[in-house]
Structure 1
Amino acid sequence: MGGMRVAVADVGTNSCHLLIAESRGSGYRILDALKERTRLGEYLSQGRVTEQGYVRLEEALRRFKQLAQSAGCADLRVYATSAMREALNGGEIAERLRTSTGVYPQIISGEREGALTYLGAAHSVEFSGDNLLLDLGGGSLEIARGDEREAHTVVSLPLGSVRMRLAHLQADPPGARAIRELDATVRGALLPHLKTFALREDTRVIGSSGTFEAVAGMLSARAGHGAGALGGPVNGYSFRLEELGALLDDLRKLSSAKRAKFPGLDKTRTDIIVAGLVVLHATLSALGASRVTVSEGALREGMLVEYLAQEAEWEAGLSARQRSVLEVAERFRIDLAHDRQVMTLARDLFSRLEGAGEAFPAEARSLLTAGALLHEIGLIVAQSSHHKHGHYLTRFAGLRGYEPWQVDVVALLVRYHRKSPPKSSHLEFTAISPEHQRLVVRLAAILRVADGLDRSHTQGAGITALGKHGKNWTLQVTNATELDLHGAREKRDMWESAFGPLHIEG
């Protein structure tokens, strides 16, 4: 069974990229990707994005949204980097795009871009205890240092390949003096940061960007490996500074037309590749790096990792028992995004009830979380009576970390998330202690309302307030569809038995 599907995209200086992925345990699987060569850096006039640049972005985002929706993604998260960040009308363009396409390209800082890129690279190649990541885009160069998991120091410098070509290498082919001037510009920009990024003996240097991938492709093709020439994967490819220098010497002497025929080079990069190579060579030289490893994981992959972690709050800091629940959930999952939303709403309701003075045993929150994540596993058997099928599957699924009575409670939460409340004729309910029966009733009451609030399966509803006046409760929700409101009102029967009358306001 597949997990939640998410779509992320970035709006760069040179191109826009879309990734669609599906969660897989603690990672993800790429389902689709699309690249649009928007060349935004060339559609700037007096520091502003031109109307033609806006139209190109609009067309790209419309295509991205259409592909994301057809893949079953409820949302598309888009981040914009250097070109939009520095454009005087970047914010205005972003708002126009939100209005015209329904997609909002959020402009992020260079430091945040570097941190996310580091996160993406860390999930793509093997990181050590100390790593230095270089990410060269069209507008900026990010340098990040960190450990196996995240960056601790990030610097963003205006040394992108498109920017540097326009500023220094307009001639075709560029002259030796222009190359030296660009090299000096890069080294000068790096000078204040050399101490921060000084390499240790065990520091691993990682390169992430289209330029690094292009270098790997060309060197691979030069070495007689087909992957580079055919545009195959280069993740984990390692090369020495001397090899980069030799490649730069060869390419800088060629005209753009001749570079287009260079083995292993993507023809769309022929105009910016020399500038990119000069920036990389000067940077690696200044830092004293002799070898670099290429990561295909970059900003978009970092966005995916962050997105999945945010959407699935259970993913971080899970106990052994909750990891066991997730394993079972993935084994039987029909709609993991819906189950996570129900879990989030149920936990929110639980916290607000406690805040209003309702007392629960210490393990109640954990049991509610498990019941919410597993409440629909019976759908793998049949839609009809899936709550009953789910009860059986939960009891015998092999949940770890739970006492037998706790497994019974979780299974009964699955049993009573829909249809009739517990009855004296339900042997599985009457078999547990009166204390545990009361716990099941109170937790199932919460679960039913939470499930109703995502009746549309759009994961939009949120809770803004839960208040009690006498015996009456008022629940205020936001972004709920009419179907969600109807679902919650229809399923408040057990709540009213357990806690008192419930009024739901949308």
Structure 2
Amino acid sequence: MRLGVLDVGSNTVHLLVVDAHPGACPLPAHSHKTELRLAELLDAEGSITGHGVERLVAVTAEALAVAEDKGCEEVLPFATSAVREARNAEGVLARIKDETGVDLQVLTGPEEARLTFLAARRWYGWSAGKLLLLDIGGGSLEVAYGMDEEPDTAVSLPLGAGRLTAGWLPGDPPDPAGVKALRRHVRAEIARTVGEFARFGRPDHVVATSKTFKQLARIAGAPGSGEGRYVQRVLSRTSLEEWVPKLSAMTVEQRRGLPGVSPGRAPQLLAGALVAEAAMDLFGIPELEICPWALREGVILRRLDHLPTG
């Protein structure tokens, strides 16, 4: 069957169309993205602005039309931190449903972490052993750990690259004092959770998902997307520690010139690097592997698990 998964995130609204059935690997058939940056369309009280709601409704309707054109039998719509934390989330969701018919399901932070963990576990299989997962989104950082498809523990922290850039790094290039203050803040937030994971012992394999990690690995020398999804891509803490001061000194335009860095994500790259560096340091991770599957694939896999076989 052909499924669509509609991901309303802090940075983009992304429709992923796949051909899938229970017991088989979902095969990507089409991708439709719109850069919306919901995290930046908030008023002083934390509500999505009128313009932001209008844009979200229009983009959702557009994605639904694309899903119909591509022959999707079912669309799985969900939203993450930007909608979840908006003060007017209930009204926004009601309006989307009234005007588009889409019943947008809002995932909690731990749900995001668990579904992303499921995708990583299915990608690497049981041979990966105890798996530690890191995911940096626009609004939050998810961390999950476990032996099975359901993690033993999963947390979501308000350390997304978009959120931190808007709140802590307004300059271009950023003020060194602001970078230092953000570094302290990020490390203090992550350090509170380390003990919760340490009691389960050392992981056998550490993986990361998200555009932020993919771009950091790419500038550190990992193969580009043109070499295919099955090529191994790794990011070492040593390389990341070398890149953080370089990124701190760059303007947004200079970051856009780096290999694999998309223009829209360039402003957030430094904040994402600070979070990645802190997580790898505090969790004692010398190197991690980039996982091609993430939250959208986790949502698809969970849906397939509930379909009858045969």
Matched, 1:154 2:150: no
**In 2, distance between residues paired with 1:240 and 1:287?**
13
**In 2, distance between residues paired with 1:211 and 1:155?**
18
Q: Report which of the two structures shows the higher radius of gyration computed on alpha carbons.
A: 1
Match for 2:41: what amino acid?
Answer: Y
Whether the 8 Å CA contact 1:236–1:294 is kept in 2: the answer is yes
Change in 2 beyond 3 A, CA 1:234/1:274? farther
Aligned-residue Cα RMSD (Å) equals 1.9
2:304 to 285, 305, 308: 308
Number of aligned residue pairs: 306
Whether the 8 Å CA contact 2:130–2:203 is kept in 1: the answer is yes
Whether the 8 Å CA contact 2:190–2:278 is kept in 1: the answer is no
Whether the 8 Å CA contact 1:7–1:19 is kept in 2: the answer is yes
* Cα offset, 1:220, TM superposition: 3.0
Gaps of 5+ in 2: none
Aligned to 2:18: 21
Higher relative contact order, structure no. (Cα contacts within 8 Å, ≥ 6 residues apart): 2
Aligned to 1:491: none
Matched, 1:274 2:275: no
After the TM superposition, which residues 278-289 of structure 1 pair with which residues of structure 2 at under 5 Å, given as runs? 278-289=274-285
Match for 2:80: what amino acid?
Answer: T
Matched, 1:11 2:8: yes
**In 2, distance between residues paired with 1:263 and 1:191?**
31
Classify the secondary structure of the residue corresponding to 2:221. Answer: helix
Classify the secondary structure of the residue corresponding to 1:272. Answer: helix
**C-alpha deviations, 1:249-273, integer Å up to 9, x for none?**
2221111111111222112111111
**C-alpha deviations, 1:342-387, integer Å up to 9, x for none?**
xxxxxxxxxxxxxxxxxxxxxxxxxxxxxxxxxxxxxxxxxxxxxx
**In 1, distance between residues paired with 2:209 and 2:159?**
15
* More displaced 10-residue stretch of structure 1: 232-241 or 185-194: 232-241
**C-alpha deviations, 1:82-115, integer Å up to 9, x for none?**
0111101112101100111111211111011111
Given the two structures, how large is their TM-score scaled by the length of structure 2? 0.93
Change in 2 beyond 3 A, CA 1:205/1:290? same
Aligned to 1:37: 35
Matched, 1:207 2:208: yes
Classify the secondary structure of the residue corresponding to 2:134. Answer: strand
* Cα offset, 1:234, TM superposition: 7.5
**In 2, distance between residues paired with 1:234 and 1:268?**
26
Classify the secondary structure of the residue corresponding to 1:48. Answer: coil
**In 2, distance between residues paired with 1:300 and 1:176?**
36
**C-alpha deviations, 1:32-70, integer Å up to 9, x for none?**
111111100000012100111112212221121112112
Whether the 8 Å CA contact 2:2–2:71 is kept in 1: the answer is yes
Classify the secondary structure of the residue corresponding to 1:267. Answer: coil
**In 2, distance between residues paired with 1:148 and 1:270?**
35
Match for 2:258: what amino acid?
Answer: F
* Cα offset, 1:123, TM superposition: 2.7
Aligned to 1:76: 75
After the TM superposition, which residues 44-59 of structure 1 pair with which residues of structure 2 at under 5 Å, given as runs? 44-45=42-43, 46-59=45-58
**In 2, distance between residues paired with 1:91 and 1:252?**
38
Change in 2 beyond 3 A, CA 1:123/1:236? farther
Match for 1:17: what amino acid?
Answer: H
Given the two structures, how large is their TM-score scaled by the length of structure 1? 0.58
* Cα offset, 1:180, TM superposition: 1.8
Aligned to 1:256: 252
**In 2, distance between residues paired with 1:258 and 1:190?**
29
Classify the secondary structure of the residue corresponding to 1:44. Answer: coil
Classify the secondary structure of the residue corresponding to 1:139. Answer: coil
Match for 1:212: what amino acid?
Answer: F
Aligned to 2:103: 104
**In 2, distance between residues paired with 1:49 and 1:235?**
39
Matched, 1:217 2:215: no
Change in 2 beyond 3 A, CA 1:78/1:25? closer
**In 1, distance between residues paired with 2:143 and 2:214?**
17
* Cα offset, 1:202, TM superposition: 4.5
Report the identity percentage: 32
Match for 1:313: what amino acid?
Answer: P
Whether the 8 Å CA contact 2:16–2:28 is kept in 1: the answer is yes
